[in-house]
Amino acid sequence: MAVHFIDNSVFQDSVSTQRMRDVFDENTMFQRWLDVERAIALASGDLGIIPKDAAKRIAACAQVDKIDIEAVKAHGKVTSHSLMGLLKDFRRVINHDDARYVHWGATTQDIVDTGMMLMIRDAYAIIEEQHLDILRHARPLLETYRDTVMVGRTHGGHALPITFGMKAAIWLDELCRQVERWKAAHERILVVNIIGAVGTFASWGAAGFELQKRAADILGLGTPLSPWATSRDRMAEAATLCALTSGTAAHIAKEIYNLSKTEVRELEEPFTAGKVGSSTMPHKRNPVHTEWSIVLDRLIRANAGVSLEAMGAENERDATHWKAEWIVVPETFSLLSGSLNHLDVTLSGLWVHADRMFQNTGMLKGLLLSERAMFVLAETMPLPEAHELVYQASNRAFDNDTYLIDELMVEKGVAGVCDRSKIEAALDPRSYVGLAGEIADRVGVRIDALLKTP
């Protein structure tokens, strides 16, 4: 029976994706450990540390489907050791005297850390692909809504007009930066940790560096300059990248969530037939995808904190910190993949109510353009005086629920110097969006470049 939602048959697709669950599946983990044992054996055989025939035999048997997983579990219950059970059954599978060369010179953390890096590498590729899928699917928003006028909000209130194309561009530009962060960290994070008991390579002698390099090449990972058994910054960086990306997903989701509220209703998650929002209120269309991105962000950021705590590991090995990663790394990547999936579904099918967006620009009866009205007046008077006149008129408009233009025209300092029609023209939100369209264009160019990059 599943305990965690990631493994719950009903809810697992709400919090993760099947592709990412497969990466960190128990059998996959054991296979990655065997992959590391295989690489060490092959490298050792090439260097004459163990017989070459033994290395080939070990490599040929390094397949998890030959392992008796129940025997491995039973062994672990007796020994309380994470790897010995697998090694014992692996030697049984080999069924030859060459089995004595399995794990030659290695230590448990060599296998577990490097195996984790293999899983992170596969997870890394999925996250990068999801990034690009979102950018590809959301890219049309920039063109379709480049000039769609809506309210720009600051401090929770109406400020000045913007376009939805610009708002979407800001979201996607942030996601572009996440793509670049993941690319930049790739080589720094994805390395082996094949170093021996305390990181001196003593069991392999002078061939230690070369063995590490050859094993890394077999596995498709990089080689570190120094041992990192207690230098956990790579794992912490991976978790932090997850948190940063999750933060972007939650930022976008929160904006859509707020703009989909009934009183605003400028945006909506895609709605499909059969989707139910409430067990008792038939009319409800709840924003489930954005809600999940927001919820998962809290968990992912908390996990990043745990990974940062693990950087306090001591001496040359410290399981009191290290083992926390066994839990939070698979969980973090699984949750992030789920969050990005929700974001992709939301943005690729987003309902944009352009008419409602424009309608909401008039909600404050001209106050949305108070800045522009001030600048029109400043053509005939000092800016501070214009600000004060518009400020007083705005306060009356707020208090009396009247139009800004009417309150301005009763001001003695306004009617005598400025024609009503000029101010009315200035209060058209479509005429005061600045370079919003150009911002959308610029981000579109950036996205196109990223999508073309191999």
The residues annotated with a catalytic role in the active site are 155, 278
- Residue by residue, DSSP assigns 326-370 as HHHHHHHHHHHHHHHHHHHHHHHT-EE-HHHHHHHHTTTTTGGGH
Copy the structure tokens of residue 423: 């101010």
Terminal CA-CA length for the chain = 42
Q: Would residue 265 be called left, alpha or beta, if left means φ above 0 and alpha means ψ between -120 and 50 degrees?
A: left
What is the rounded CA–CA span in Å between residue 336 and residue 243?
8
CA distances from 360 to 51, 347, 367 (A): 77, 22, 12
Q: Which residues pair with 153 in a beta bridge?
A: 158
Report CA torsion sign: 443, 447, 452, 454: positive
What is the rounded CA–CA span in Å between residue 217 and residue 223?
9
The separation between CA 350 and the C-alpha centre of its own chain, rounded to angstroms, equals 19
Helices 108-138/164-189 angle, 10° precision: 160
Tokens 């009503």 sit on residue:
420
What is the rounded CA–CA span in Å between residue 178 and residue 17?
20
Q: Is-contact 132 451, C-beta < 8 A?
A: yes
Tell me how many degrees the CA angle 305-81-214 measures, rounded to the nearest 5: 80
Copy the structure tokens of residue 107: 């230590």
